[in-house]
Structures are given as C-alpha cells and as structure tokens.
Amino acid sequence: MSDKINIRHLGLEELKASLIESGEKAFRAKQIYEWLWQKNANSFDEMTNLSKSLRELLENNYWIDIIDLKDQQISSDKTIKCAFLTYDAKVIEGVLIPTSSRTTACISSQVGCSLACKFCATGKLKLMRNLTAGEMVDQVVYLKNQAEERYNTHLSNIVYMGMGEPLLNYKEMLRSTNLITSSEGLGMSPKRITVSTAGIAKMIKKLGDDEVRFNLALSLHAANDEKRSHLMDINDSNNLEALAEALRYFHQKTGTRVTFEYIIFKDFNDELEDAQELAEFAKCVPCKINIIEYNAIDDGEFQQATRAKVDAFANYLENKNIIVNVRRSRGKDIDAACGQLANKNNAIRKDERALK
C-alpha cells in the first residue's frame, strides 16, 4: 500500500488532476467521487459504470481506507455500540443512540486520546493516531444503515463525542463534516451535527474564522478553574477566561448558540454553589446546558450524583432563564454511554435476535 495513494485523501479537483495525468478523462473523477462519498463503495470493483481498464488503473494506483465491523453489542435500551477495525488494525468505537425523538450517531475522531480527562475511559488510552475523514464518514454511514435496517428510522443527528478530541484532528474533522453535508456526499444538514471539544481556545476561534455551520459543544463540567483543572488537565493551558473569550469570538463569527456539557459528580460539582458558578459563566455567550449523568469507569474516583441533587441543580439554572436538558445515560450495560468508550469488546454480548 505504501506506493499507492489513499484515494479518499484527494479532493475532487485533486482527483481530476491525478486522472488526467494518467490519461483519463476529467469527468471520470466526479463518477468516482460519487462512488466514494454518495454510494460509499468499499472497492473499485463496485464502481460498475467505470470501464474495466479504469478500474484496473485505480486498483493499481490507489487504495481506500475503509473500516470494517469488528464487534457489535446491543443494549437493553436498543443502543448499539460498534467496534470498528481500521486498515492498520486499530480499533475505534461508534454508537447509535435511538430515542423517541431522535436517532443519533456518536462517532470517534481519533484512535485513543491524549487529554487524559479523569472521568473518561478513553482518556486512559494513549493517542495512537488521528482518523481520516473517510474513517469518520464510514462510522456515520454504518450507523445510519443500522438505524434504517434495525429500527426503520432515519439518522437525525451526528455528534463528534466518541473517542478523541476533534479539534486536535481539525483538518480531517472539518473535511468529514463537509463530506457529510455536501450534496456530493450524504447531504445532511450541518445543523444536525455537533462537534464536542474539551476546550482548545485557539481552535475554537479557528472554527469561527472558518465560519462553520455545525453546532459546537464545550465539555465544561466545572465553572471554576480549580475544579475544572482537577478534572481536565487541558484547563491549565486553556482556562475559563480564555475559553469564554474564544466562545464569544466563535458566536460573533457564526451566530451559533453554544452547548455546555456538564457531567455532574456526587459531592464534587453538584451543589447549588456550583450551579451559581455555571450560571455566571454561561452569561459569556448565548447557550444551552446539557446536564449529563455520570457513568462509572474502571478505577474512577467519581460517583453518580443523586437524582435529587441533579433536579435541584437543573431547577436552579432554569430559574435563571437558562435552557437546560438533563441527559439520562443510554447503553450503560454495554459500556456505550458517555465517557465509557475504551474498546472493552469482551463484555457480555446481548442476544441480537430478540431485537430484530
């Protein structure tokens, strides 16, 4: 493969130029592009409207960085966790989350993660590499197909909240969102996509400069620097003041309301004083707040907050005229809930036949 070009790394114009150099007609590039991004072909043999000689040329000079399904588990609440195998034998995870109001694909942007947030199982893995745009799109396509085939519903939302930090894989993440929303790709609305970040101020500003049309979520989890730094090392170099400035800049450039994600931990960030700090920080930008139930991980130091504390916390914010959603966990029995993705594929399998 080392002497071949990953064809999905090429944009349409680059593909045209490459084909012309090989003596082919430029219009063939659009046909190939449609096979790659609209029809999601896994091989050149599938491209049946191309001549055999062109397919042979493609086979000899290019390759496709497809991912394959390695393992799949289905939760009692119908959440589906998929372990995917990349071309270089790395494992990543994606999750399909069906609810009564929406069906969401949660996808990964990196193999592992470098940020080591204390509450996250993925953070206990080392970062192995960034995913390509194609590998991110493949996750969406597979989960979209699962939604249609298993649950007879369309994929309504995509969240970059799986393994990895999307803004540390900025170029490929952005390209993947363009392919998902492009008429030459999946044709989904950018407003159906949310990219979640642990908080990298300069990259949040870059999102504003690039005038992205998708939604942005910030994993906040505490609204004072001491607590947030305990949870997330990245806060030492991207503190709340820097993040507030970056978010204001992002909103000024895009007009998009920001989502703050707040995992609520027992006896750590679940008091009304914490809610008061959060309400104050939330004034920096038009926003909504998702309060997320904590999901225990192996060797974790945190516990789930009580329902009474969560409700009191949410009520305080709502009384401050803040939009609040309390997110109850799904897929916990297969380690598919928020913060649990860590390639634990030897867990007890669910009987899929009962859900078909």
Task: Please give the Cα distance from 149 to 70 (Å, whole number).
Answer: 19
DSSP state of 257: P
Phi, psi (deg, nearest 5) at residue 223: -110, 25
Q: For residue 124, what pLDDT band results from cuts at 50, 70 and 90? A: confident
User: Does the pLDDT of residue 347 top 50, yes or no?
Assistant: no
Q: Which CATH superfamily is domain 68-355 in?
A: Aldolase class I (3.20.20.70)
Residue 266 clears pLDDT 70, i.e. is over it? yes
Active site residue 93: yes
Amino acid at 214: F
Q: Does domain 5-63 have CATH number 1.10.150.670?
A: no
Burial category of 312 from C-beta neighbours within 10 Å (exposed 0-12, middle 13-18, buried 19 and up): middle
113 an active-site residue?
A: no
Given the residues 24, 93, 165, 293, the one annotated as active site: 93
Nearest to 333, CA basis, from 74, 143, 93: 74
The one-letter code for the residue type at 178 is N
What stretch(es) of the chain map to CATH 3.20.20.70? Answer: 68-355
CATH 1.10.150.530 in the chain, residue ranges: 5-63
Chain segment 146-205, per-residue pLDDT in tens:
999 999 999 999 999 999 999 999 999 999 999 999 998 999 999 999 999 999 999 999
pLDDT digits (tens, 9 = 90+) for 241-260: 999 999 999 999 999 999 99
Catalytic residue among 120, 284, 287, 338: 338
The 10s digit of each residue's pLDDT in 282-340 is 999 999 999 998 877 666 689 999 999 999 999 999 999 999 999 876 655 555 545 44
Give the per-residue pLDDT at 54: 97
What pLDDT score does 229 carry?
A: 97
Structure tokens at 136: 């991110």
pLDDT band at residue 126 under the 50/70/90 scheme: confident
Count the Cβ atoms, other than its own, within 10 Å of residue 346: 7
